[in-house]
Amino acid sequence: MANLVKSGRRTWRAAHLRARELRMIAKGLASTDHPILAHIIPMRRCNLACTYCNEYDDRSKPVPLETVCQRIDLLAGLGTTIVTISGGEPLLHPDLDQIVAHIRRRRAIAGTITNGYLLTAERIKRLNRAGLDHLQISIDNVTPDDVSKKSLKVLDKKLQLLAEHADFHVNINSVVGGGIRNPQDALVVGKRAVELGFTSTVGIIHDGTGQLQPLSPAEREVYAAMRGMEKSSYAQFNYFQDNIAHGQENRWRCRAGARYLYICEDGLVHYCSQQRGYPAKPLAEYTVADVRREFLTEKSCAPRCTVACVHQISYIDFWRAPQTIDSASMPETGDRLVQIR
């Protein structure tokens, strides 16, 4: 009986989420004057130190709950439809549940990206009660090494807890490239995710130069196999990765700063995690005029961009509004690391 109740609850929540997602798409098609997705950073500190990551530190204090909620209110005022909590490691924030609940109170879809280390059965149940809609974990290898501790060996028990207790959607992202020693690990991770009832995606990590280097033949073979495992609803929005796998540029209209916003721990709006520093305008001062300007601004970093969430959010507008504003004043990517998340 308990299993039937749990199954029914998950089915209802999945249907309710799908209805909200359809409303989000309709709103996005009707108007370009609002962000679709915003990433907020309430915690820059992380409990891990993966060598490829440039999005964490080991000392920052959490952003106060009141401040985070004010930023969520500002995003709601702009009409933002999805708010994803990232980091650092969001589960280190003592008020994460209240942050999720506030996102839901403002009628946005609530997601989080975590390394999964701090998940427990009770923690998952609290996220259920808060109303979390999506959770993503990136798993880099089967056994931990000096590149990454986000391994299936360490996290498998956490995945089992999610399979048993989570009412929200769970996606497991496995990776190839960027120093991951055994490309076949991605297949092992992906198959385990599907076995547990989760969706599975594949990402490409690049080395410290942040440039588009083609995958090796072995890595491309694994990448192709992983793409075959992705559900069609995910795969159709990740085709840009096919070019990345071969070291080729993509031609697209990046809508960062308009349809996608990255809000750092200081409350500044940036294009994305890999272009922190522009426009770097306080969210409290960000207006529809800024959204409209950035919607029409061509981003010089776009052809070699590997930030999946920005690509995916920009797809809804691929057919309209050619970008006529030059972003020549943007900083170069230089030696930044770029990772598909």
Supply the pLDDT for residue 339.
37
Supply the pLDDT for residue 233.
45
Residue ranges covered by each domain of the chain: 2-326
Q: Which of 183-187, 231-235, 292-296, 317-321 has the highest mean pLDDT?
A: 292-296
Considering Cα of 124, then 125, then 129, then 134, what sign does the dihedral take? Answer: positive
Residue 133 has pLDDT above 60, yes or no: yes
Considering Cα of 174, then 93, then 261, then 16, what sign does the dihedral take? Answer: positive
Residue 266 has pLDDT above 80, yes or no: yes
CA distances from 48 to 23, 111, 117, 149 (A): 37, 21, 9, 7
Indicate the residue type of 11: T
pLDDT mean over 295-317: 90
Indicate the residue type of 224: A
pLDDT mean over 299-304: 88
CATH entry 2.60.120.10 includes domain 2-326: no
Indicate the residue type of 232: S
Indicate the residue type of 123: R
* Residue located via tokens 């031609």: 251
Residue 95 has pLDDT above 60, yes or no: yes
User: pLDDT band at residue 175, thresholds of 50, 70 and 90?
Assistant: confident
Residue 160 has pLDDT above 50, yes or no: yes
* Residue located via tokens 């439809």: 81
pLDDT mean over 312-321: 91
One-character DSSP codes across 170-214: EEEEEEESTT-S-TTHHHHHHHHHHHTT-EEEEEEB--TT---PP
**Dist CA 149 CA 164 (whole Å):** 24
Residue 20 has pLDDT above 50, yes or no: yes
Point out the least confidently predicted range of 275-279, 294-298, 334-338: 334-338
Q: Which two tokens stand for residue 338?
A: 């770029």
pLDDT mean over 22-45: 96
Supply the pLDDT for residue 7.
77
* Other residues' Cβ atoms within 10 Å of the Cβ of residue 238: 18
Point out the least confidently predicted range of 5-14, 78-87, 328-337: 328-337
For the chain, the average pLDDT equals: 87
What is the per-residue pLDDT across 215-261, written as a single tens digit (0 to 9) for each? 778 878 888 787 777 664 444 556 677 887 777 888 999 999 999 99
What is the per-residue pLDDT across 43-73, written as a single tens digit (0 to 9) for each? 999 998 887 788 888 899 999 999 999 999 9
268-270/260-263 β-pairing: antiparallel
**Dist CA 87 CA 335 (whole Å):** 21
Where in the chain does DSSP place strands (E)? 37-43, 82-87, 109-114, 134-139, 169-176, 199-204, 260-263, 268-270, 279-282, 297-298, 325-326
Peptide bond preceding 279 in cis form (omega within 30 of 0): yes
The DSSP symbol for 322 reads -
Number of continuous H segments (helices) and E segments (strands) in the chain: 11, 11
Percent of the chain with pLDDT over 70: 88
Supply the pLDDT for residue 209.
39
User: pLDDT band at residue 8, thresholds of 50, 70 and 90?
Assistant: confident
User: pLDDT band at residue 101, thresholds of 50, 70 and 90?
Assistant: very high
